[in-house]
Amino acid sequence: MPADFNWAIGGEAGDGIDSTGKIFAQALSRAGRHVFTSKDFASRIRGGYTAYKVRTSVDDVQSVVDRLDVLIALTQRTIDENLDELHDGSVIIYDGERSTMADVEIPEGMIGLDVPLKRLAEEAGGAIMRNVVALGAACEVTDFPIENLDSALQKRFGNKGQQLVENNKEAARSGQDYVAEEYDHEFDYDLDTTDNDYVLLNGDQAIGMGAIAAGCRFYAGYPITPATDVMEYLTGRIEQYGGHVVQAEDELSAINIALGAARAGARSMTATSGPGIDLMAETFGLVATSETPLVICDVMRSGPSTGMPTKQEQGDLNMTLYGGHGEIPRFVLAPTSVDECFWKTVEAFNLAEKYNTPVYLVSDLAMAVTEQTFPPEAFDMDAVEIERGRVVDDDTIGEWQNEKGQFKPHALTEDGVSPRAFPGTAGGAHMSTGLEHDELGRRTEDTDMRIEQVDKRTRKVETAKEREDWSPREFGNPESDQLIISWGSNEGALIEAIDLLEDDDIDVRFLSVPYIFPRPDLSEEINSADEVVVVECNQTGQFADVLEHDALRRVKRINKYDGVRFKADELADEIRAALAEEEVTA
Partner 1 sequence: MSSQVRFTDFKSDKQPTWCPGCGDFGTMNGMMKALANTGNDPDNTFVVAGIGCSGKIGTYMHSYALHGVHGRALPVGTGVKMANPDLEVMVAGGDGDGYSIGAGHFVHAVRRNLDMTYVVMDNRIYGLTKGQASPTSREDFETSTTPEGPKQPPVNPLALALASGGSFIAQSFSSDAMRHAEIVQEAIEHDGFGFVNVFSPCVTFNDVDTYDYFRDNLVDLAEEDHDPTDEDAAKQKILDSSKEYQGVIYRNDDAVSYDQQFGLDTNMSEIPDGAPEDAMDLVREFY
Of 171-200, binders to partner 1 (CB under 8 A) are: 197-200
Judged by CB under 8 A, the chain residues 28 through 47 that form the site for partner 1 are 29-30
State yes or no: residue 467 binds partner 1 (CB under 8 A): no
Query: Which of 88-96, 108-116, 433-441, 473-481 is the region at the interface with partner 1 (rule: CB under 8 A)?
Result: 433-441
Q: Indicate the residue among 167 and 256 with the shorter CB distance to partner 1.
A: 256
- The whole-angstrom separation of Cα 79 and Cα 71 is 8
Structural element, H or E, at residue 234:
helix 228-234
Q: Lay out the site mask for partner 1 across 348-377 (x = CB under 8 A, - = otherwise).
A: ----------------------------x-
Nearest CA to 584 out of 524, 544, 550 is that of: 544
One residue of 84, 108, 184, 382 binding partner 1 per CB under 8 A: 382
- The whole-angstrom separation of Cα 97 and Cα 115 is 8
Q: Lay out the site mask for partner 1 across 288-307 (x = CB under 8 A, - = otherwise).
A: --x-----------------
Q: How many CB atoms lie within 10 A of CB 401?
A: 19
Burial class (CB in 10 A: 0-12, 13-18, 19+), 59: exposed
One residue of 28, 137, 231, 266 binding partner 1 per CB under 8 A: 266
State yes or no: residue 96 binds partner 1 (CB under 8 A): no
- Taking the complex as a whole, the smallest distance from the CB of residue 407 to partner 1 amounts, in Å, to 10
Q: Indicate the residue among 248 and 461 with the shorter CB distance to partner 1.
A: 248
Query: Which of 236-244, 468-476, 507-515, 534-542 is the region at the interface with partner 1 (rule: CB under 8 A)?
Result: 236-244
- Taking the complex as a whole, the smallest distance from the CB of residue 282 to partner 1 amounts, in Å, to 5
One residue of 104, 106, 384, 411 binding partner 1 per CB under 8 A: 384
Query: Which of 122-130, 216-224, 451-459, 499-507 is the region at the interface with partner 1 (rule: CB under 8 A)?
Result: 216-224
DSSP 267-318: EEEEEE-HHHHHHHHHHHHHHHHTT--EEEEEEE-B-STT-BTTS-----HH
Contact in structure between 146 and 139 (CB atoms under 8 Å): yes
State yes or no: residue 394 binds partner 1 (CB under 8 A): no
One residue of 9, 258, 493, 537 binding partner 1 per CB under 8 A: 258
Which amino acid appears at position 563 of this protein? Answer: G
Q: Indicate the residue among 133 and 369 with the shorter CB distance to partner 1.
A: 369
Judged by CB under 8 A, the chain residues 399 through 418 that form the site for partner 1 are 404
Nearest CA to 287 out of 279, 278, 275, 296 is that of: 296
For residue 368, CA distances in Å to 206, 306, 509 come to 9, 18, 27
Which amino acid appears at position 357 of this protein? Answer: T
One residue of 88, 159, 184, 242 binding partner 1 per CB under 8 A: 242
Do you know the residue count of the chain?
586
Nearest CA to 247 out of 267, 266, 226, 272 is that of: 272
Residues 6+ apart with CB under 8 A from 540: 559
Q: Indicate the residue among 174 and 401 with the shorter CB distance to partner 1.
A: 401
- Taking the complex as a whole, the smallest distance from the CB of residue 356 to partner 1 amounts, in Å, to 14
Judged by CB under 8 A, the chain residues 517 through 536 that form the site for partner 1 are none
State yes or no: residue 241 binds partner 1 (CB under 8 A): yes
Query: Which of 157-165, 362-370, 428-436, 529-537 is the region at the interface with partner 1 (rule: CB under 8 A)?
Result: 428-436
- The whole-angstrom separation of Cα 558 and Cα 127 is 47
Residues 6+ apart with CB under 8 A from 318: 542
- Taking the complex as a whole, the smallest distance from the CB of residue 183 to partner 1 amounts, in Å, to 33
Q: What is the largest CA-CA distance in the chain?
A: 91
Q: Indicate the residue among 217 and 557 with the shorter CB distance to partner 1.
A: 217
How many residues of this chain bind partner 1 (CB under 8 A)? 72
State yes or no: residue 450 binds partner 1 (CB under 8 A): no
State yes or no: residue 426 binds partner 1 (CB under 8 A): yes
- The whole-angstrom separation of Cα 131 and Cα 450 is 65
Contact in structure between 5 and 189 (CB atoms under 8 Å): yes
Query: Which of 75-83, 205-213, 492-500, 565-573 is the region at the interface with partner 1 (rule: CB under 8 A)?
Result: 205-213
- Taking the complex as a whole, the smallest distance from the CB of residue 252 to partner 1 amounts, in Å, to 6
One residue of 59, 103, 105, 385 binding partner 1 per CB under 8 A: 385
Nearest CA to 518 out of 551, 470, 552 is that of: 470
State yes or no: residue 443 binds partner 1 (CB under 8 A): yes
Which amino acid appears at position 158 of this protein? Answer: G
- The whole-angstrom separation of Cα 142 and Cα 152 is 17
State yes or no: residue 205 binds partner 1 (CB under 8 A): yes
Q: Indicate the residue among 213 and 522 with the shorter CB distance to partner 1.
A: 213
- The whole-angstrom separation of Cα 270 and Cα 445 is 32
Judged by CB under 8 A, the chain residues 124 through 163 that form the site for partner 1 are 155
Q: Lay out the site mask for partner 1 across 9-28 (x = CB under 8 A, - = otherwise).
A: --------------------
Cα of 430 vs its chain's centroid, Å: 38
Q: Indicate the residue among 186 and 385 with the shorter CB distance to partner 1.
A: 385
State yes or no: residue 218 binds partner 1 (CB under 8 A): yes
Is the bond leading into 518 cis (omega within 30 degrees of zero)? yes
One residue of 180, 386, 451, 577 binding partner 1 per CB under 8 A: 386
Contact in structure between 348 and 295 (CB atoms under 8 Å): yes
